[in-house]
Amino acid sequence: MQWRALVLGLVLLRLGLHGVLWLVFGLGPSMGFYQRFPLSFGFQRLRSPDGPASPASGPVGRPGGLSGPSWLQPPGTGATQSPRKVPRRPEPGVCGPAHWGYVLGGRDRGPDEYEKRYSGAFPPQLRAQMRDLARGMFVFGYDNYMAHAFPQDELNPIHCRGRGPDRGDPSNLNINDVLGNYSLTLVDALDTLAVMGNSSEFQKAVKLVINTVSFDKDSTVQVFEATIRVLGSLLSAHRIITDSKQPFGDMTIKDYDNELLYMAHDLAVRLLPAFENTKTGIPYPRVNLKTGVPPDTNNETCTAGAGSLLVEFGILSRLLGDSTFEWVARRAVKALWNLRSNDTGLLGNVVNIQTGHWVGKQSGLGAGLDSFYEYLLKSYILFGEKEDLEMFNAAYQSIQNYLRRGREACNEGEGDPPLYVNVNMFSGQLMNTWIDSLQAFFPGLQVLIGDVEDAICLHAFYYAIWKRYGALPERYNWQLQAPDVLFYPLRPELVESTYLLYQATKNPFYLHVGMDILQSLEKYTKVKCGYATLHHVIDKSTEDRMESFFLSETCKYLYLLFDEDNPVHKSGTRYMFTTEGHIVSVDEHLRELPWKEFFSEEGGQDQGGKSVHRPKPHELKVINSSSNPPYEEKGCRCLSPEGVAQPLVGDPSSPSPGLEGRGWDWAAHLLLASQEPSTGLSAAASNEDPRRHTVNALSPQFRIFCLPVSGSGKTAAFGDLHCPIPQRAPL
Ligand code: DMJ
């Protein structure tokens, strides 16, 4: 049976690729092919790149256009509108190239008509030329940033100046959410330097980051942006430096002492206040890096912002052996997940973190939700926690049921080609007729789960828009066939999907797409000192801003698309990309829970031989911003299950209060119970148990927990509160 499925898969794939080539590129096959596939996929009807954007003159839903009537109708209302079943795919856990090989197969086939036809479609010299063009693009942007902007956050590429937070206008969130006065572009670009094999510049950049970047800044930033752009990059670079195999060349740093990991920890601890005093566990969207959550802060957050922190926080937790970060990020994901609609299984795009009410009921794949879905799957790929995959699978099914419009198969059958629209999360009713450019990441995610056929189709839709404008407008109205929002800030999503589809299919079509993207970036966005945001995709006017993701993502994916032999593809290590394009090796080590021994199922025995229940990670209820080292200077507060900080009660006057008859972790509990931690520390350190001695040394072997109170005595005052304290990184 398996060979039949494989053959069927191959046939479908081949036909799909034929269709895409024909539709988008005009490279297509003969009429015979077309007759077998009566497509009404109307890309050829798009206006030329230079044509004016005017609303469609014809009635909505004329046959063959991009405004097919079926997209306006809810799924299940017509012959071709039944909700699509998610295609069968390999067993969970099979991701990466091996998976793609399974899905696509056929690489070892002899040349057939198709291969003969396109084998010369992208000669090796052209590929090398494009790779060098992509590298040159990165170098031009990076060098100019270093020359004109560093140590500021971003480069203004038109006026050759630096840009930092907009202190004059705190409400300028477009800038202030992202720019934290921490040399953002340099930090974000670190692993691209490594991927391009530039070891001298990578080493120089890492040292600069270690020596000059500080997070002790009076900057109010978005937790999400700081996490994906800064925390993620620091962790990625740390892993590159400490990788014993050094696949990218010598990226080691002399006398490196985990500085980037410590910096990541420092930043993450500064983000932790966002997770305190939230009744749902969903974090506040913004924190001030010095002072915590601003008093006048907003209680509303977008789903992606609050629910896409798990990859970075999870990596940090697992590298440090400290469950705190993963725990808070996971709690946020689950809180959001539990708020999904009972009827549709969909989530909205904006939620109130105190009430749990959906403020934005729009459910789509773009802004506000994109990386939420992405991180359900990527967390599973990295950490192997089944619940993440289960959530992803359920979400994917809801997406297919309610967001996907058009015919069931990408390349066959009647009706309009598939499209993912924005609907009301509770009713599944269409909310508007636009899609945004962020959604162009979705085909890449579909590649990861093996839904390649659908990925090909959706990618082709976005590419058709790119072909028309030489960029992707921020929003495109598929009914009017015109942009709704006209700017293009050098976003990576289309090239990210192009790259992943190329890896999956090895079809030269995607190299052509990449070349097209490269050439239009060169033509329309290159300015005196870098690459500029397109203000208007039709008149091609520019804005003086080069976002940091241009170097961390757009250039990286373009380079990797053409660099067939890159260690990312050939080193034998499997890499995953974070939502900011940072590479992380998929490593068994990250599937281990270093804190497991403290929370084993069995529990342990106390000093008197009585059994002691040790809580499991999910029983932890607390995090605390005051866990920033040195810990002894700060108290630890426990949070109630509702997230409300509780006063700690204890008796610091006793040298070893309540220790008798209890395990060492109870001592730690009492240690934290002290309102004056130094008293507690000395009390604990005075005990014979060596694990307690290590408290003062902040050793990785010792962890401090405020454990659940099930015993008697003074500790009963804690109720069921828990309080972990992050430790320093393993030395
Ligand atoms: C990047 O910061 C990330 O890719 C994020 O997930 C979405 N937005 C930008 C790029 O468009």
Cβ atoms 279, 354 nearer than 8 A = yes
Q: What is the per-residue pLDDT for 420? A: 97
Flag the least confident range among 402-411, 438-447, 529-538: 402-411
Average pLDDT over residues 522-535: 98
Q: Give the pLDDT confidence of 99-108 residue by residue, as tens digits.
A: 332 222 233 3
Give the Å distances, CA to CA, from 317 to 262, 310, 584, 590, 725.
12, 10, 15, 10, 12
Q: Is 474 a catalytic residue?
A: yes
Taking CA atoms only, the protein residue closest to ligand 1 atom 4 is 580
What confidence tier does 320 reach under pLDDT thresholds 50, 70, 90?
confident
Q: How far is the CA of 549 from the centre of ligand 1 (A)?
A: 7
The best mutation among 184, 221, 222, 228 to test binding of ligand 1, ranked by most ligand atoms within 8 Å of the C-beta, falls on 228
Q: How far is the CA of 35 from the centre of ligand 1 (A)?
A: 40
Taking CA atoms only, the protein residue closest to ligand 1 atom 2 is 580
Kindly tell me if the per-residue pLDDT of 663 is higher than 80.
no
Tell which atom from ligand 1 comes closest to the C-alpha of 438: 11
What is the value of pTM for the model shown? 0.76
Q: What is the per-residue pLDDT for 215? A: 95
The residues near 16 (Cβ < 8 Å, ≥ 6 apart) are 410, 411, 453, 456, 457
Q: What is the per-residue pLDDT for 58? A: 28
Q: Give the pLDDT confidence of 198-218 residue by residue, as tens digits.
A: 999 999 999 999 999 999 999
Q: Report the helix count and the strand count for the chain, using DSSP H and E.
A: 27, 26
Of 439, 285, 310, nearest to 362 by C-alpha is 439
Kindly tell me if the per-residue pLDDT of 689 is higher than 70.
no
Q: Give the pLDDT confidence of 464-488 residue by residue, as tens digits.
A: 999 999 999 999 999 999 999 999 9
Kindly tell me if the per-residue pLDDT of 621 is higher than 60.
no
Q: Give the pLDDT confidence of 40-81 residue by residue, as tens digits.
A: 233 222 223 233 333 222 222 222 334 445 777 777 654 445
Q: How far is the CA of 162 from the centre of ligand 1 (A)?
A: 21
User: How many CB atoms lie under 10 A from the CB of residue 73?
Assistant: 14
Q: Is 493 a catalytic residue?
A: yes
Residue 579, marked binder:
yes
The residues near 498 (Cβ < 8 Å, ≥ 6 apart) are 459, 463, 510, 513, 514, 517, 557, 561
Kindly tell me if the per-residue pLDDT of 500 is higher than 50.
yes
Gyration radius (Cα) of the chain, Å: 27
Tell which atom from ligand 1 comes closest to the C-alpha of 553: 4
Percentage above 90 pLDDT, the chain: 58
| Residue 291, phi then psi, degrees to nearest 5 | -115, 0
Kindly tell me if the per-residue pLDDT of 96 is higher than 80.
no
Question: Does residue 371 have its Cβ closer than 6 Å to ligand 1?
Answer: yes
Question: Does residue 579 have its Cβ closer than 6 Å to ligand 1?
Answer: yes
Of 403, 407, 404, 405, nearest to 38 by C-alpha is 407
Q: Give the pLDDT confidence of 562-604 residue by residue, as tens digits.
A: 999 999 999 999 999 999 999 999 999 899 876 554 444 444 4
- Pick the catalytic residue from 153, 370, 451, 547: 370
Q: What is the per-residue pLDDT for 514? A: 97
Average pLDDT, the chain: 75
Question: Does residue 417 have its Cβ closer than 6 Å to ligand 1?
Answer: no
Q: How far is the CA of 445 from the centre of ligand 1 (A)?
A: 14
What confidence tier does 118 reach under pLDDT thresholds 50, 70, 90?
low
Judged on CB neighbours under 10 Å (0-12, 13-18, 19+), 8 is exposed
